């Protein structure tokens, strides 16, 4: 199929985005068409065939990008739909994948990433049924909203969760302590066909080897001192469901061998017997250590790593997704504010929270907000309510220096406006919606302002 015969529909209520993508795809040799609303897009797809539909999710009409996706898939299952959003969430990613979206791209987007997604979509076979096993509606009890974040790195995590949830594939979640690895494991389980079966989590580094052996694999009566009755292990108790092995790197070599057998044969052998017991479990594991490095140092079995690491989900540390901190803070404020209590946070404190590196990641942030809510006497959280290491991390002098740098060389008002725009785009990681909100303008004005100063959005 030549590029000239490829019909692409671009759906976005932002005319600048429509014009930009239309120009890009014309330069690539495609035939683009634009629609400024969900109803217009659906009307166009009823009268014209499109190979690719590239649609924003959140639009000002009642019919949004997910509605467009559903309508298009009903009309022609082979049309590839790529969704774009500046308001990503796990719930939206799950719904997009279940409804058959080919890809899910965060805004502001990299144009190269968009064109690459289109090329990948065109390379797929017309009757690709990769998503057919994901069509069931998610259970009402899903707790997926507990994963907070709109950072592009988190959108990639959401996409992986959505794609691997309803499979038996082993998943290894890597990331620093406190980044939310168990939340991701639970989200995978809750979005799978195993969601009505047990989810059992265990920290492999918290128990001695003999106790961990008994907890995981069970034991027979009399197999050791204190074994007064036969006990099923976690793998047996979780049959039909999911076992989450946190800090799997801390397993001893002998337990690594037994775990490998569970992965290969789906059977366990209780302590004190040689008779295996069949189990049916999906294993999700996690580690904050580099398992490949441990393999190189002969501290972890290479064959076990291959079995555990079929799909790898890497969680970014909080310092690499600072734009998500206000969302997380708002979530924890709601969580720890008592009924009838009002609690807000001052702008200078939010600046301190966003500038701190958070070595303990989300867990440390949550503890900090819980403490601040408990200590706040006025309902407005100030610097004195924060842990000392946070409030002292961003000295006033540093803030003053940054402000002074805006005035270097006594700039004109135009130059000062340009510098401030660049500063806001940097703080918001070029999120155009957030930047416009901070500047007190709409997105159209933001685009015109950026164009006037020669700034690419």
The model's confidence at residue 403, banded by pLDDT at 50, 70 and 90, is low
Report whether pLDDT(187) > 60: yes
d(Cα 63, Cα 84) in Å, to the nearest integer? 15
Q: Which two tokens stand for residue 432?
A: 């155009």
By mean pLDDT, which of 101-115, 259-273, 298-312, 428-442 is the weakest? 428-442
3-state secondary structure of 74: helix
Please tell me the predicted confidence (pLDDT) of residue 274: 80
pLDDT exceeds 80 at position 284 = yes
The pLDDT of 212-219, averaged and rounded, is 88
Long-range CB pairs of 290-296, under 8 A, 24+ apart, other chains included: 291/172, 291/174, 291/249, 294/249
Q: What is the per-residue pLDDT for 124?
A: 66
Burial (Cβ within 10 Å: 0-12, 13-18, ≥19) of residue 53: buried
Confidence check: pLDDT of 191 > 50: yes
| 321 — pLDDT class (breaks 50, 70, 90) | very high
Answer whether residue 230 shows pLDDT above 80: yes
Tens digit of pLDDT for each residue in 81-98? 998 887 777 777 888 877
Show the CA angle centred on residue 51, arms to residues 80 and 109, nearest 5°: 60
**Dihedral (CA of 382, 385, 386, 388) sign:** positive
376: pLDDT strictly greater than 80? no
Closest to 64 (Cα-Cα) out of 25, 92, 102: 92
Q: Give the pLDDT confidence of 26-79 residue by residue, as tens digits.
A: 888 888 999 999 899 999 998 888 999 999 988 887 888 899 999 998 888 888
CA angle 379, 380, 385 (to 5 degrees): 100
The CA-atom distances, in angstroms, between 10 and each of 7, 50, 303, 456 are 10, 10, 46, 20
Angle among Cα 431, 435, 436 to the nearest 5 degrees reads: 120
pLDDT band (50, 70, 90) for residue 100: confident
Q: How far apart are the first and last CA of the chain?
A: 32
Position of tokens 């924060």?
Answer: 386
Distance (Å, whole) CA 452 – CA 450: 5
The half-sphere exposure of 56 on its side-chain side, counting CA atoms within 13 A, is 24
Contacts of 43 (CB under 8 A, 6+ apart): none
* Residue pair 303/260 in contact by the 8 Å Cβ criterion: yes
Judge whether 282 and 194 are in contact, CB under 8 Å: yes
Give span(s): CATH 1.10.10, the chain.
396-453
DSSP letters, 313-361, are EEPPPGGG-GGGHHHHHHHHHHHHSPTT---EE-HHHHHHHHHS--TTH
Mention the CATH class of domain 165-314.
Answer: alpha beta
Contacts of 415 (CB under 8 A, 6+ apart): none
Q: What is the DSSP letter of 118?
A: H
Among 127-136, 382-391, 426-435, the range with the most confident prediction by mean pLDDT is: 426-435
**Can you read off the two tokens belonging to residue 424?**
């806001």
Average pLDDT of the residues in 225-253 = 89
Range 148-164 average pLDDT: 88
Run of H or E residues at 112: helix 111-123
Lowest mean pLDDT among 122-126, 224-228, 271-275, 338-342: 122-126
Q: Which tokens hold the place of 201?
A: 């989590």
Of 87, 150, 144, residue with least CA distance to 325: 150
| pLDDT confidence of residue 1 | 53
Task: Please give the average per-residue pLDDT across 157-168, as a whole number.
Answer: 90
**Which option is the CATH number for 396-453: 1.10.10, 2.40.128, 1.10.287, 1.10.760?**
1.10.10
Which candidate, 378, 382, 368, 363, places its Cα nearest to that of 333? 368
**Architecture (CATH level 2) of domain 319-391:** Orthogonal Bundle (1.10)
Hey, CA dihedral for 261, 267, 272, 274, is it positive or negative? negative
Per-residue confidence (pLDDT) for residue 339, from 0 to 100: 72
pLDDT confidence of 144, banded at 50, 70, 90? very low
Asked if residue 239 lies in contact with residue 200, where contact means CB atoms within 8 angstroms, the answer is no
Side-chain half-sphere of 61: how many Cα atoms within 13 Å?
A: 19
Which percentage of the chain shows pLDDT scores above 70?
Answer: 88
Indicate whether this model's pTM tops 0.75.
no
Query: Given a cut of 70, is residue 197 above it in pLDDT?
Result: yes
The mean pLDDT value of the chain amounts to: 82
Q: What pLDDT score does 319 carry?
A: 92
Q: What are phi and psi of 214, to 5 degrees?
A: -65, -40
395 pLDDT band (50/70/90 cuts)?
very low
Q: Rounded CA gap, 319 and 156, in Å?
A: 17
Q: Name the one residue in this structure whose structure tokens are 């303008």.
A: 441
What mean pLDDT do residues 382-391 have?
Answer: 64
Domain with CATH 1.10.8.60 in the chain: 319-391
- Round to whole Å and give the CA distance between 219 and 269: 8
pLDDT digits over 19-34, tens only? Answer: 899 988 988 888 899 9
> Across residues 206-226, what is the average pLDDT?
82
Q: 57 phi and psi, to 5 degrees? A: -85, -50
- For CATH 3.40.50.2300, the residue range(s) in the chain are 3-134
Distance, CA of 455 to CA of 389 (rounded, Å): 37
Which fold does the domain 3-134 belong to in CATH?
A: Rossmann fold (3.40.50)
Mean pLDDT, range 284-304, rounded to an integer: 94
d(CA 287, CA 285): 7
CA-angle at 26, arms to 23 and 32, nearest 5°: 90
Given a contact cutoff of 8 angstroms between Cβ atoms, the answer to whether 357 and 368 are in contact is: no
């Amino acid at each position: 199929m030549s590029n000239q015969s490829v019909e692409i529909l671009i759906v976005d209520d932002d005319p600048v985005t429509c014009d930009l993508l239309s120009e890009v795809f014309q330069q690539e040799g495609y035939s683009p068409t634009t629609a400024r609303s969900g109803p217009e897009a659906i009307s166009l797809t009823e009268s014209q065939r499109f190979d690719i539909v590239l649609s924003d999710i959140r639009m000002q009409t009642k019919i949004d990008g997910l509605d467009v996706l559903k309508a298009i898939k009903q009309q022609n299952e082979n049309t590839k739909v790529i969704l774009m959003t500046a308001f990503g969430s796990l719930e939206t990613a799950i719904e997009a994948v279940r409804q058959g979206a080919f890809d899910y791209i965060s805004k502001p987007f990299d144009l190269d990433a968009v064109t690459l997604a289109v090329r990948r979509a065109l390379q797929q076979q017309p009757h690709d049924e990769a998503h057919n096993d994901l069509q069931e509606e998610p259970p009402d009890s899903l707790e997926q909203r507990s994963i907070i974040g709109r950072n592009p790195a988190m959108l990639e995590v959401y996409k992986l969760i959505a794609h691997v949830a309803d499979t038996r594939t082993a998943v290894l979640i890597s990331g620093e302590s406190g980044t939310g690895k168990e939340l991701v494991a639970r989200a995978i389980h809750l979005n799978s066909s195993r969601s009505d079966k047990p989810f059992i989590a265990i920290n492999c580094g918290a128990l001695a080897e003999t106790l961990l052996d008994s907890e995981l694999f069970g034991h027979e009566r009399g197999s050791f001192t204190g074994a007064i009755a036969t006990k099923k292990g976690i793998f047996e108790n979780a049959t039909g469901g999911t076992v989450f092995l946190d800090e799997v790197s801390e397993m001893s070599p002998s337990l690594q061998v037994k775990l490998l057998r569970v992965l290969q044969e789906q059977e366990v052998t209780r302590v004190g017997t040689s008779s295996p017991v069949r189990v049916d479990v999906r294993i999700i594991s996690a580690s904050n250590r580099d398992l490949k490095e441990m393999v190189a140092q002969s501290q972890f079995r290479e064959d076990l790593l291959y079995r555990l690491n079929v799909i790898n989900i890497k969680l970014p540390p909080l310092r690499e997704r600072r734009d998500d901190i206000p969302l997380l803070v708002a979530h924890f404020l709601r969580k720890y504010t008592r009924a009838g209590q009002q609690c807000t946070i001052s702008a200078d404190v939010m600046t301190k929270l966003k500038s701190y590196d958070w070595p303990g990641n989300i867990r440390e942030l949550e503890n900090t907000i819980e403490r601040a809510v408990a200590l706040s006497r006025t309902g407005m959280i100030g610097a004195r309510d924060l842990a000392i290491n946070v409030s002292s991390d961003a000295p006033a002098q540093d803030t003053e220096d940054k402000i002074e740098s805006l005035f270097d060389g006594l700039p004109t008002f135009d130059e000062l406006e340009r510098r401030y725009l660049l500063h806001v785009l940097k703080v918001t990681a070029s999120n155009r919606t957030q930047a416009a909100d901070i500047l007190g303008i709409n997105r159209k004005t933001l685009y015109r302002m950026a164009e006037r100063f020669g700034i690419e959005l």
